[in-house]
């Protein structure tokens, strides 16, 4: 990668206000800021919103997961035989469950704000843009401006929902995954355009609240990056709950009306609903940074190219998190910020993002996976065996009434090395980490027989690993 290198003399002569400025306080910005501060760097962060936390805390990860949790508990309550309703229960609205999400958002933002105070990091509120490679202008809400300088700049501005120009997002019944949190009416029928992670999660939420949901998928299957059996399980569960999934569809126009919307599809179909959630892709937040002033250019998705140390084409400017694209996960963004901080301080970082990054999808029920899928192993001609545990056979699942789901282990048929863990069901995103811990062990430590030879608490969901391991080992040929 070609870089504009600063000479050692220039670095010594310049007297900057800070060693590093981080633009954005989401997970990536937080990871960079905290680790730089702990390395005795003078650090400033710039946040355009009134509170820290970025999209993760205020519009994305935390709100949707808090909403999902409330709806999931409501579903469990209605299904519990101890609480049979003697009269028709009051229907909960989206606004009702938003109260819980608002509380969590406030707690998370306040907690993260204390991190910056505790580490003596200077926080500036306003819009950041480049003047040159070492100088940032901060535009405050009151119209005033401030100029900050630093040796190193870290771009951690995150992403926003993609908005096709032909869709009128100013219409009161047209939402994206940010503005859906301001939903005021109580929709009886919802269209969700885009069946990716966000679309599937909100399909679960609205269906759990009793709305009719049309989920429009531009591809031929849900969440194709997941193991096929696991994504098929979600598809079946959606179908069984009454969600209408329309595969291989693309929108032609979105017709907004006073009382709802009509989605016109290129296939000729028309779908009517009280509102539409457009959740088909995201765009990096780089358009307001004045990247041209430093010679950087984002791609068509607003994303920046970086090297293994998260360094851009300009040697003192780094970028982490959603603004660089894959894997676009809050968990990975924090690690990217940490690794970038090490590279800034040490000139290089021996730490790298782990290869097998776990994926957690907070549908109802949850999905989670780490490692290879059956499709990937088959394509690579790796001999593997499969071990399965059905949740309905586990005592803990029977006790809690969460019997929908299963755990699936993929392991090498000869070495018994654990190659992939895939889980569908309640608490899947927690359960998967047991398998991840074993997968990260090297050599003999990564062996599916570990789950047979260890002792699990009983009854627990973790016991599924022993059941699945025995199931898989029993399939091996002598």
Distance between CA atoms of residues 327 and 359, nearest Å: 9
Distance between CA atoms of residues 156 and 22, nearest Å: 7
Burial of 112 (0-12, 13-18, 19+ CB in 10 A): buried
Q: 108: left (phi > 0), else alpha (psi -120 to 50), else beta?
A: alpha
Within 8 A by CB and 6+ apart from 415, the residues are: 447
Count of Cβ atoms closer than 10 Å to residue 395 Cβ: 12
Q: What is the DSSP string of 121-153?
A: -EEEESEEEEEETTEEEEE-TTS-EEEEEEEEE
What is the dihedral angle through the alpha carbons of 83, 86, 88, 91, rounded to the nearest 10 degrees?
-30
Q: How far is CA 1 from the centre of its chain?
A: 29
Q: Are 130 and 290 in contact (CB under 8 A)?
A: yes
Q: Is 47 annotated as a binding residue?
A: yes
Q: Is 426 annotated as a binding residue?
A: no
Distance between CA atoms of residues 11 and 92, nearest Å: 60
- The H-or-E segment that residue 67 falls in is helix 61-79
Q: Which stretches of 373-463 are DSSP H helices?
A: 374-379, 395-400, 428-439, 450-453
> Is the torsion defined by CA of 427, 195, 245, 242 positive or negative?
positive
Within 8 A by CB and 6+ apart from 413, the residues are: 383, 384, 385, 476
Q: Is 56 annotated as a binding residue?
A: yes
Tabulate helix, strand, coil % of the chain (nearest 5).
35, 25, 40
Q: What is the DSSP string of 22-39?
A: EE--SHHHHHHHHHHHHT
**Which DSSP state fits 365?**
S
Distance between CA atoms of residues 215 and 249, nearest Å: 10
Q: Are 434 and 462 in contact (CB under 8 A)?
A: yes
Q: Is 390 annotated as a binding residue?
A: no
Q: CA–CA distance from 383 to each of 113, 377, 387 (Å)?
A: 50, 8, 14
Q: Is 139 annotated as a binding residue?
A: no
Q: Is 49 annotated as a binding residue?
A: yes
Q: Is 275 annotated as a binding residue?
A: no
Q: Is 224 annotated as a binding residue?
A: no
Q: Is 40 annotated as a binding residue?
A: no
Q: Is 53 annotated as a binding residue?
A: yes
Q: Which residues are annotated as a binding site?
A: 47-56
Annotated binding residues for FAD, written as ranges, equal: 47-56
């Amino acid at each position: 990668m070609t870089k504009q290198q600063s000479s050692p003399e220039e670095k010594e002569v310049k007297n900057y206000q800070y060693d590093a400025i981080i633009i954005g306080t989401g997970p990536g910005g937080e990871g960079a800021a905290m680790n730089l501060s702990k390395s005795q760097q003078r650090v400033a962060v710039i946040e355009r919103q009134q509170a820290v936390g970025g999209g993760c805390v205020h519009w994305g990860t935390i709100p949707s997961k808090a909403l999902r949790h409330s709806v999931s508990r409501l579903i469990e309550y209605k299904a519990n035989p101890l609480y049979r309703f003697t009269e028709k229960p009051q229907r909960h609205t989206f606004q009702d469950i938003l109260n819980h999400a608002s509380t969590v958002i406030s707690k998370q933002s306040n907690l993260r704000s204390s991190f910056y105070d505790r580490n003596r990091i200077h926080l500036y509120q306003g819009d950041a843009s480049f003047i040159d490679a070492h100088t940032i202008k901060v535009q405050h809400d009151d119209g005033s401006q401030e100029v900050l300088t630093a040796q190193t700049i870290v771009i951690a501005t995150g992403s926003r929902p993609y908005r096709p120009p032909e869709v009128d997002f100013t219409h009161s019944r047209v939402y994206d995954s940010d503005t859906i949190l301001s939903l005021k009416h109580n929709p009886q029928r919802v269209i969700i355009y885009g069946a990716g992670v966000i679309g599937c999660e909100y399909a679960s939420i609205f269906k759990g609240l009793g709305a009719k949901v049309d989920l429009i998928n531009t591809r031929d299957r849900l969440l194709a990056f997941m193991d096929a059996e696991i994504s098929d399980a979600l598809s079946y569960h959606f179908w069984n709950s009454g969600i209408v999934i329309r595969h291989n569809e693309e929108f032609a126009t979105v017709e907004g009306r006073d009382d709802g919307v009509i989605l016109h599809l290129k296939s000729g179909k028309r779908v009517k609903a009280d509102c539409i959630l457009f959740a088909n892709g995201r765009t990096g937040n780089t358009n307001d940074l004045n990247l041209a002033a430093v010679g950087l250019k984002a791609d068509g998705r607003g994303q920046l190219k970086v090297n293994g140390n998260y360094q851009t084409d300009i040697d003192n400017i780094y970028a982490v998190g959603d603004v660089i694209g894959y894997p676009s996960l809050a968990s990975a963004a924090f690690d990217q910020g940490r690794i970038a901080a090490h590279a800034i301080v040490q000139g290089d970082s021996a730490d790298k993002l782990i290869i097998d990054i776990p994926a957690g999808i907070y549908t109802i029920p949850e999905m989670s996976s780490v490692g290879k899928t059956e499709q990937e192993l088959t394509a690579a001609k790796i001999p593997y065996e499969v071990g399965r545990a059905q949740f309905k056979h586990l005592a803990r699942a029977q006790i809690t009434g969460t019997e929908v789901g299963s755990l699936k282990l993929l392991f090498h048929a000869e070495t018994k090395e654990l190659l992939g863990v895939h889980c569908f069901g309640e608490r899947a995103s927690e359960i998967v980490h047991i398998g991840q811990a074993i997968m990260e062990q090297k050599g003999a430590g990564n062996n599916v027989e570990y789950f047979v030879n260890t002792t699990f608490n009983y009854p627990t969901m973790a016991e599924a690993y022993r059941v699945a391991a025995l199931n898989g080992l029993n399939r091996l040929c002598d």
